[in-house]
Amino acid sequence: MKTVLSAPAMLALTMLALASAADAATVAPHRAIYDLTLLRANEGASLQSAAGKLAFEIDGSSCDGFTVNFRMATKYRQEDGSIAVIDTLTTTFENAGATELRHQLKESVNGTVKETDRISLTRKSADAEGAATLKSKPGEPFTVPAGAALPMQHQLRLMALGEAGGGRDSSIVFDGSDGAKSFRAISFVGRQKPPGSIARDAANPAAAALKGDAAWPMTVSYFTLDGNAETPEYQVSFDMYDNGVASGLVLDYGDFALSGTLTDLKLLDKPSCN
């Protein structure tokens, strides 16, 4: 079975977490936990069931940068009865100027570590070409294209688009989740939903802290940069609240999709900028 948490998936979920740093809305460091269930499985997926948890914690400030600790652990039962438990942990730091990114990854399958890596990127300005290295390939430094958005940059762009009434965005994005690869992200942001208008969250005690916040529906699709792909490698959709908390996750891998239900939310203290 292919590792389910693909690089575009990691990119999208890291981007979700970093959304809380948006100065245009409200900075809200938080800890959110979601229950994952199988939403859809095509014949090619060979899946009987899937269930797990997704959690991330955001800390930091718009002055000092933000750190996201992320974990996704999912149990997949295939048609032949075999089970794969995939557990992925990452830590991502992006500085306030979008000139530095550090990303660490550890992934285990059925309790055995299959992948660990560390990536670092620096660049002179937020839109300059970046110089990056992978710990697993110290002798193969690479460059990130000029104009590529880091997760924070990209999410701020989408939230600003929502505040302007919604629309379409096309951006090259890079977060280090697939080594030297960047992706083309095609995003659609809908019109703002008033506070309390999302029935799913209004009826969910775990989302009580969101009752006074408006939200935007967002869908982000990730394509390879060669331009030949007609379908995305991965797509994520969600409602993004103006304090940066996401709900109603749908993680679409093509052959199958997972849904994520918010089960626990804690808004953390917001550091002040000195």
Q: Where exactly are the structural domains of the chain?
A: 7-267
Mean pLDDT for 266-273 is 80
Per-residue pLDDT tens digits for 68-77: 899 999 999 9
Mean pLDDT of all residues belonging to the chain: 88
Residue 44: predicted pLDDT: 81
Residue 249: predicted pLDDT: 97
Residue 9: predicted pLDDT: 59
pLDDT interval class at 3 (50, 70, 90): very low
Mean pLDDT for 146-156 is 87
Residue 156: predicted pLDDT: 81
Residue 201: predicted pLDDT: 97
What does pTM read for this prediction?
0.88
Least confident of 34-38, 52-56, 86-90, 265-269: 265-269
Per-residue pLDDT tens digits for 134-143: 999 999 999 9
Residue 218: predicted pLDDT: 97
Between these two residues, 32 and 20, which has the higher pLDDT value?
32
Per-residue pLDDT tens digits for 93-125: 999 889 999 999 999 999 999 999 999 999 999
DSSP assignments along the chain, one per residue: ---SS-HHHHHHHHHHHHGGG-TTS----EEEEEEEEEEEE-GGG-EEEEEEEEEEEEEEETTTEEEEEEEEEEEEEETTS-EEEEEEEEEEEE-TTS-EEEEEEEEEETTEEEEEEEEEEE-SSTTS-EEEEETTEEEEEEEE-TTPBPHHHHHHHHHHHHHTT-EEEEEEE--STTTT--EEEEEEE-PPBPTT--HHHHT-GGGGGGTT--EEEEEEEEE-TTS--SS-SEEEEEEEETTS-EEEEEEE-SSEEEEEEEEEEEEPP-PPP-
